[in-house]
Chains A and B, each alone.
Chain A
């Protein structure tokens, strides 16, 4: 069973491959995404993150999830040499660069704990798959052509790993270089990361994209991560282990 609903400002698709009735499980997954949106949306004035931004909520009153996201954001900032920073130059905090992948991973864990082994969850182009698809075959993922969005330019088989893509065309996620926030990013069209899970892939795809042409070399230095970047001339550069994911 497969279902797509709008949530967190983007379409989210959940597919569970099972002979059993999976309606309840799918409802639980979407309920989870709604709760994440309520807490972390920077578009909802009463969300926890917006209350923190307005100074209405002392740290002692933050939710466990908020503490976890702040810790993860700090860790990502260090590991990406400052290229990921949820503290924007104008002072407000926007963790949406890592909330998406983190929430997809948590939703996947929810399904796994319920005993489902074959499923996929996709939110705004970031993907976690598990097991096999409805045909009993490995899940296949196309990397979107950043120049003509209705086509794909590469097919990968993530083998249970997480996949996330960053690009300038991404809605609501205006990526910039924290070291030079005034400079527009022009080198890359998109950068896709395969990581241990979708949370890991997502939290490195954004800073790697902000690094421009050096981003793919940065991914190369991370053990357990592979990447595929596409520059503005349509030339792609892949990490040394990427091609292991292009065949079944």
Chain B
């Protein structure tokens, strides 16, 4: 009877180890797939540290000095009323859109703050456009002067 009990305990322990091993390997694999950090040198199967968040500032191409095209997710930051996380979209080397992945909206007070600070209006960083337009809305200088100035500039380009 004692012997049977011992074998049963051993089987449970082995099963638990097998499960733990499988789970750890899967975790390590999935982390490796999503993280850009190199695999750890130590044989520890589980990374205790979460993957490093990608930088909020997209990398700048050292050759052109421009942002590289792509979508970049910033780290989650504490916006005092709750977590805030943004995603930046770069097209043709310019910042064209910022998407709010998270912003404080968990409690009524935060929702009130958000309604003031971030209404449901789309935001984007301004980016210079090509000048193929009939008129310019702004102030002071005429669209004529604008078109003339740009035409001379483009003639030099």
Q: Which residues of A contact B (CB under 8 A)?
A: 4, 10-11, 13, 120, 122, 124-127, 129, 133, 139-146, 148-156, 163-167, 169-171, 173, 190, 192, 216-217, 220, 230, 234-240, 242-243
Output the least CB separation between A202 and chain B (Å).
11
Output the least CB separation between B51 and chain A (Å).
29
By a CB distance below 8 angstroms, the chain B residues around A143 are 136-138
Among B124, B139, B142, the one with the most A-chain Cβ atoms within 10 Å of its Cβ is B139
Pairs A–B under 8 Å by Cβ, sample size 28: A11-B141, A13-B143, A124-B139, A124-B140, A125-B137, A125-B139, A129-B135, A139-B134, A141-B133, A141-B135, A142-B133, A142-B135, A142-B136, A149-B138, A149-B141, A150-B149, A151-B128, A151-B131, A152-B128, A166-B139, A169-B138, A169-B140, A171-B139, A171-B140, A230-B126, A234-B125, A236-B123, A236-B126
Is the beta-carbon distance between A150 and B135 smaller than 8 angstroms? Answer: no
Interface membership of chain B positions 115-157, coded 1 if the CB is closer than 8 angstroms to chain A and 0 otherwise: 0000111111111110111111111111111100110010000
Is the beta-carbon distance between B125 and A127 smaller than 8 angstroms? Answer: no
Q: Which of A10, A127, A171, A234 contacts B137 (CB 8 A)?
A: A127
Output the least CB separation between B157 and chain A (Å).
13
Is the beta-carbon distance between A170 and B140 smaller than 8 angstroms? Answer: yes
Task: Apart from A141-B135, A150-B150, A238-B121, list 7 A-B contacts with CB within 8 A.
Answer: A122-B136, A122-B142, A125-B139, A140-B134, A151-B129, A170-B139, A216-B121
Q: Which residues of B contact A (CB under 8 A)?
A: 98, 119-129, 131-146, 149-150, 153
